[in-house]
Structure 1
């Protein structure tokens, strides 16, 4: 993945993978005709102009026609529509004209991704103004977008861009500035000697509708230090094509499990902007190196007073349905993007704790033994997972009766300790007439069809398998019913689901996937929706878990494949990684990048899925993984067992401590998940999101922020003695272990301690914790809180705490506690941070604050006054000793015993 989180951020996930020894099983750009054609075009080759520009139904509408056409070859116009939405979003759609001679097939537009609330934010354009730009030679039409920004379509040659208001306003984003737009319209018949079929290895794609690709250039203006893009001639573009890639490499632009065609840029001077293309077909994206188009600059009329990064977007099929996000702050771009695709679902509280998984825990005895060992070694965990071997012959929704004869009893025993189980359910259905899922799906016609119209038959874990056609809402509803307790025999309310192999993976298919000419509901070809298949499967499964409890409880579903909008349905992970230091290192930019696409709930398999990590690597991975939003240990069945107690007493202690830190910080993480749910802002963030003017953060993807209050620096090399940490900003940072203060805007060379990785609390923040360790997060529900206050140079700080029942959807009706803590002038105040709630929906908690720690206070007061009770409590001084480390003396208010639900103040005297 290189350094994808420098200022031009690629959210093309995942961009680092390839079969390490079977690369030839996958196509490159030269073996992909639409990509090869698009890359061969020269700047300025687009001959389309905008005609008949007008306002219709609140949108700007135009026809795109060739500048020169003849009676023998009349123009086939495309229809362009520009819409404006609240909060600085412009939408551009381009499709074939359906009003003249409709093509024999309507091009596919991806449904069920754009949230309905976004469509209600449309701004109805009232007027269109025309102006001459580029020295008075070119006519452009201009529409208002938001305060300070306009949308512009240049007529000849056509170009669409967003600019700051005014004729001389600087460009922010543009499409077709380099004249690379191309739209292959569907044909009625083949021309003479034209062959539409495509072959790759032993597979033939019939391509019954012929070439239908789209490509165009997009330019990002005033972006500093862009990610270095591949050259057109000698390297591969970034590929977005969901694939099951076995032991992927850590540093390749090749496609992996999920695709989010969203790109954002960031620069010190202007800020951030973003571009999103809602398209589910295979996509390839080039990032051009500076000066790539110098020989064409005289004919392109590109601005010379702005830095610019040019990109080329290429897709096999679909329509142009693109969104321009004007920012200008990094968090603004994420908010704007998630206003279109939705914010992250708020998970149940157990789901953000530690998960233990393996392919496979053998039987019920193994499950009970693993569960008991966690207790024996005082290691908390919340979820135990079962992979495919728990089923009856890899038939999903079943149990192997010899290995798991009493699944309900097994789940209930774990639930008694506040723990849950997860079982795997994949989209490939074993073709077995005695298997009720297959029989019903076959009879109802619910499978994807092959190009001849028969049920598609491919090979996966179940052997000969067919695949549920999840694009059809009726079929998704049918699938959701399979998760009821009556249908999923042996399941209980404490059982949750894991969707794997949903790219979809087909072992004997082209590129280990489904043929592109397979057919879905409405005669949609698989090529048109491939990247969204796993998204619809994830959606249907999550809806099933909601239905089984009559819509009361939130679901938990982990999915390997993902697409824009996946954040609304659950968690994802970085797939089948390997037990090596490079994969530990790259897990950070991978999860950060996911967060920037709105998919906050993600993480990497602790220790690596493939291979056997050495003990040091495993310990370092736990120490880092404790800060992933999704925290799970997982391993391949050919690896050695690696539960935390198997590596000697000292290493068990180190892993236990890492997991304890996660449990200690669960209140802070849950508060951040609520922020992601409400605003789209990710749980973990690249440094530049919090420090957008600090250029030293732009290319730093080894450290990251957890919320706005914690900075974490991983250790990525074996036997490291020291680690360098850059702490941004002008304020101090406090070591989480010792409480020692470190200067901001400086690089600090620190000793690489074996018992922790560097982590710091930002001055000016207040972080809520729970410091009593239990067997599971459920057993911590009624425990008291600790507030850690890190004072800035003004001796002030602020923070928040969000609490609800951790399970139901009642929070959507206002049933929660949301508190804001502020410290100023020696006074800590708790106030309501949310709208007032009352009546039956008011969430009630008797939890109290048992300890308050102040970092950065130089005076040594003796007492504190609690109001409105007019009660005094003692103050103590001493080292923090959070994890045994020495440090400066800090102020601690012990047992103030104020309720988190109440308004109160604590004045230090």
Structure 2
């Protein structure tokens, strides 16, 4: 929503222009562990697998790993680690490494996984020549080299697709106890930080393994504390970073690790900053940057013509990622020859995190859809959202009072513009106190909401995690009395500064606190709300205006479940361990609360800004505080593609830009683009000029209205895509290479995308253009693509030039698909529930087409009791068949088919007859010869029961 406080707001009010202040955010050299670990590039890894300790049982290999000092003739074991390799269902492996006997338990991510991963079988095939070969039940193999430790993952075709520690950058800094400054004669007992290796002299002087855990280095720079600007980080556990490198043979590119403002295919980072994963509130973030912003999803995919693979780095601490693509011209040829033996088609990546265990999932593919599905099998599918949430949302910081809300609501009706949701930003509250209403501006919230719901509309209100520290405010009083706030390094309630002023933050890691927070959403606890009021959780990185990097200090303390014998440092987690997960627990508590308030009957809608692995199970995501500039419109496409590949399909950007004012052309193009993005919301800054659609000139309003009507006509198509995503976990918004994995031109295309496998969208993101270059994939399979405006067929043959006007953006339907539409667009989606369908049938070169449609009540969980329709629509030259995929599921839909448009028909039938139950009806048809389109008029088939239309020639 908003970022740095009143000074910046005031500056914007007088027309100030800003770019991100990079001084507020760390570079790698300013991040202690990144500066320390990034240069760590040993010639040989010190990590060795002890083959005598290997045990394979069920789906797990367990063994001991040691670090060995190889600098002398006498091999000396320094540290012991516990290795666990697990075979999981669906061609996935998990590698875990922890200290065998750490001083304190290391943190393991709490909520990213959607339950315990499903096990597969694991079999030891051979143990010879210092190598282990293992296989899962499907035939994927893992080859483990004992010394130096290396993992090679082999797919079913026999190709090595992922290699771990090929570049010897595996590292886990052992936890140690700090000691007081040593005397001069003890200086020889110092320990290197980046590579925890004792030399022989140190071993002889008593710093052997068991004792080594009880001693530590002096306070060398960064070992036990760090400073950034005026902020001090106490680092009570000392250095505890982890690192691992991954190689992807035969890969052309890697993708993922959102959220960044970069291209979808990730760049080589050797000549600049690594990609950073650390959820931050970045004011006016810049474009084309690896800087961290609001999201941190540590999953990466590698793709080439032969196969696709991926890794999920399961870690919620601050993380940096280096990428080396050996096909990149920035990578020197000598390095290519040294590392790859001259092999050019390969990408390397390295993840390094400040803390926690090493826990990584290896996804063996083999195709893009496979690895995307493997990842969401681990972290969860987005549940089916309420239908209204896929429609249009109108927001502003802030609609100032109930009269303003009523005026905006009526404006949509007056100007014949559809809308489903009005949003309220922070000013609706009683002086920034959440779960309250401003008594002067919003004195009658119940009536205000009822006025919206009478038209089928909803309301979304914002609730941020910062709690105003004000005496008498019930939420602050409760959290203070019950100890519910995050603690500072001294164990006192942490106080930061955010929109209310002095604020504290609930510690959602404590189940009791999450439960208390969820209960605040009960209707009795939040008067004025109803089932039709949904939630926006913003600023949940968490944003702290006076904190280091505008967030919470890393040495703040979070709840940890009590364990026997654990006190002191072992009795809590530091914020450094859990930072990227904080927002996830915030939205889970909100999600639980919205379920609780209706006894689990109605589906909630939540929007979040902070994003981590698993976020998709609870909320939609938007790309944060963008600006009314063409570059931000353009980057919304790769940003949402990246998030969708990382499980978060429900993504969009603020239409029109949050900051600044979009002139008519930019606003038009943004509405046209937003109409084909999953989350479709206009939003703007409090000091920007008002920009509801009817405030533009009549011609621009007409274009915006047309874009919105296009969205509403396709709502049932969107709803079907999200239902299917809830089943299979595949992205709703897809990169071209997902469906065309061998077509190399698609690997770097991120200015167009697919919706499911049926529509191809190429937004216009530049001013003043009269044509754009569009890539149509599928030449090898003779794919046809039909312009959705003219039904003109284009043969897939790579790039072609598409003429555009201000009224048009290129959208194409794939030949061989059927898309359901509703052409009677009303003022809200709820009023269209029983309206008739138009089925658009686009024929392939075999004169066939197939599609699906999903129908239910749009808001409850009754579909989980088989109260829905999920149907196939199959076109063959002999006729059209509508049949239920689940014959046990039924829903009393009153919708019917009023029109069927068949594009690409070469030999039209002479007659068409509807068969539905006992009903038989001859149908009227109209042939449009100019573009080979046949229209079946008013077949009248009911969607609640199967039917067939038979053709005769």
Is the pair's TM-score, using the shorter chain for normalization, greater than 0.5? yes
The 3 A distance-change label for structure 1 pair 125 and 835 is farther
- Residue 252 of structure 2 aligns with which residue? 224
Which of 861, 874, 879 is the aligned partner of 2:924?
874
Aligned with residue 608 of structure 1, among 640, 645, 657: 657
For 1:213, the equivalent position in structure 2 comes to 241
CA contact (8 A) 1:222 1:267 kept: yes
Q: 1:846 maps to what in 2?
A: 894
Provide the C-alpha distance between the structure 1 equivalents of 2:945 and 2:336, rounded to a whole number of angstroms: 65
Alignment partner, residue 79 of structure 1: 82
Q: Report deviation, 1:802.
A: 0.8
Partners in 2 of 1:142 and 1:836 — Cα distance? 46
Whole-angstrom CA distance in 2 between matches of 1:248 and 1:352: 27
Aligned to 2:229: 201
Once the two structures are superposed, the pairs formed by residues 129-208 of structure 1 within 5 Å of their partners are 129-132=126-129, 139-164=130-155, 169-189=158-178, 190-194=216-220, 195-208=223-236
Instruction: Report whether the alignment pairs 1:811 with 2:863.
Output: yes
User: Would you say the 8 A contact 1:820–1:833 is kept in 2?
Assistant: yes
Gaps of at least 5 residues in structure 2 are: 1-16, 179-215, 255-264, 561-571
Give the equivalent residue in structure 2 for 1:902.
945
Shift of 1:564: 0.5
Structure 1 residues 39-438: aligned runs within 5 Å = 39-51=38-50, 52-56=53-57, 58-68=59-69, 75-98=78-101, 102-103=102-103, 105-116=104-115, 118-119=116-117, 121-127=118-124, 129-132=126-129, 139-164=130-155, 169-189=158-178, 190-194=216-220, 195-225=223-253, 227=265, 229-232=267-270, 234-268=271-305, 270-290=306-326, 307-438=345-476
Q: Distance in 2 between matches of 1:680 and 1:33?
A: 37
Q: 1:636, CA displacement in angstroms? A: 0.4
- Across the aligned residues of Structure 1 and Structure 2, the Cα RMSD in angstroms comes to 2.0
Matched residue of 1:898: which SS? Answer: coil
Matched, 1:510 2:558: no
Query: How far has the Cα of 1:374 moved from its partner?
Result: 0.2
> What do residues 846-877 of structure 1 show as CA deviations (whole Å, max 9, x unaligned)?
22111100000123445311124332111013
1:413-468 Cα offsets, whole Å, 9 max, x none, are: 10000000010000000001210011001111110000000000000001000001
1-structure distance, mates of 2:523, 2:229 = 45
Where 1:656 maps in the other structure, the secondary structure is helix
State the SS of the aligned residue for 1:77.
Answer: strand
Could you tell me whether the CA contact under 8 Å between 1:44 and 1:180 is conserved in 2?
no
Whole-angstrom distance in 2 between the partners of 1:156 and 1:95? 18
Aligned ranges 1:644-659 → 2 under 5 Å:
644-659=693-708
Q: Which moved more, 1:481-490 or 1:59-68?
A: 59-68
Report SS of the residue matched to 1:799: strand
Structure 1 position 295, deviation (Å)? 6.6
1:30 is displaced (CA, Å) by 0.7
Q: TM-score of the superposition, structure 2-length normalised? A: 0.88
Farther off after superposition, 696-705 or 192-201: 192-201
Distance in 1 (alpha carbons) for counterparts of 2:744 and 2:855:
36
Measured after TM superposition, the shift of residue 20 of structure 1 is: 2.4
Stretch of structure 1 that moved more, 742-751 or 270-279: 742-751
Write the deviation string for residues 360-395 of structure 1: whole angstroms up to 9, x where unpaired. 001011000000010011111000000000100000
Contact 2:627/2:658 (<8 A) preserved = yes
Distance change >3 Å, CA 127–CA 895, structure 1 → 2: same
Distance 1:662 1:632 in 2: 12
How many Å apart are 1:731 and its aligned residue? 1.6
Q: Structure 2 CA distance, aligned partners of 1:650 and 1:514?
A: 47
Mapped contact 1:19–1:249 kept (Cα < 8 A): no
CA 1:42 to 1:781, structure 2 compared with 1: closer, same or farther past 3 Å? same
- What's the CA shift for 1:131? 3.8
Shift of 1:577: 0.5
Within 2, Cα distance between the matches of 1:603 and 1:228? Answer: 20
Partners of 2:501 and 2:93 in 1: how far apart?
47
Verify the 8 A CA contact 2:44 2:148 in the aligned structure 1: no
Does the 8 Å CA contact 1:499/1:557 hold for their aligned counterparts? Answer: yes
Q: How many residues align?
A: 864
Cα distance between partner residues in 2 of 1:632 and 1:674: 21
CA pair 776-96 structure 1, distance change in 2 beyond 3 A: same
C-alpha deviation, 1:480, in angstroms: 0.5
1:585 is aligned to 634
CA distance in 2, matches of 1:299, 1:620: 48
Quote how far apart the aligned CAs of 1:73 are: 7.1
Q: Which moved more, 1:88-97 or 1:894-903?
A: 894-903
* Cα deviation digits, residues 709-766 of structure 1 (max 9, x gap): 1111111111111111111112211111111111212322122211120111110000
Equivalents in 2 of 1:24, 1:259: separation in Å?
Answer: 21
* Preserved CA contact (<8 Å) 1:470 1:476: yes
The structural deviation recorded for 1:303 is 7.3
CA distance in 2, matches of 1:864, 1:418: 38
| 1:37 maps onto 2:75 in alignment | no
5+ long unaligned stretches in structure 1: 1-17, 133-138, 880-886
C-alpha separation in 2, matches of 1:750 and 1:185 = 59
Displacement, 1:289?
A: 4.1
Contact 1:19 1:248 (C-alpha < 8 Å) held by counterparts: no
Shift of 1:152: 2.0
Shift of 1:307: 2.9
Deviation, 1:345, is 1.5
- Structure 1 residues 542, 708: CA separation in 2 closer, same or farther (over 3 Å shift)? same
Contact 1:221 1:306 in 2 (8 A): no
Secondary structure at 1:373 match in 2: helix
| Gap change, CA 1:451 and 1:45, over 3 Å in 2 | farther
SS at match of 2:244: strand
Residue 549, structure 1, aligned to residue 598, structure 2: yes
Are 2:517 and 2:589, in contact at CA under 8 Å, matched by a contact in 1?
yes
Separation of aligned partners in 1, 2:455 and 2:511: 38
d(CA) in 2 for partners of 1:58, 1:893: 56
Please show how residues 400-799 of structure 1 align to structure 2 within 5 Å: 400-522=438-560, 523-729=572-778, 730-799=782-851
Distance 1:604 1:436 in 2: 35
Offset from partner CA, 1:814-849 (integer Å, 9 cap, x none): 221000011112311111113523xxxx42212211
Q: Contact 1:862–1:874 (CA<8 Å) still a contact in 2?
A: no
| Cα distance in 1, alignment partners of residues 772 and 690 from structure 2 | 30
Give the whole-Å Cα distance in 2 for the aligned partners of 1:649 and 1:712. Answer: 26
Rate the CA distance shift 1:165–1:554 in 2: closer, same or farther, 3 A: closer
Q: Deviations over 1:152-184 (max 9, x none)?
A: 211010011211369xx4311111011111110
Q: Closer, same or farther in 2 for the Cα pair 1:670/1:786, shift >3 Å?
A: same
Offset of 1:228 from its aligned partner? 5.8
Q: Does the CA contact (< 8 Å) of 2:66 and 2:77 recur in 1?
A: no
Change (3 A) 1:401 1:56: same
**Secondary structure, in 3 states, of the residue corresponding to 1:355?**
strand
Q: Quote the Cα distance in structure 2 between the aligned partners of 1:408 and 1:397.
A: 14
Residue in structure 2 matched with residue 4 of structure 1 by the alignment: none
Give the whole-Å Cα distance in 2 for the aligned partners of 1:537 and 1:204.
Answer: 26
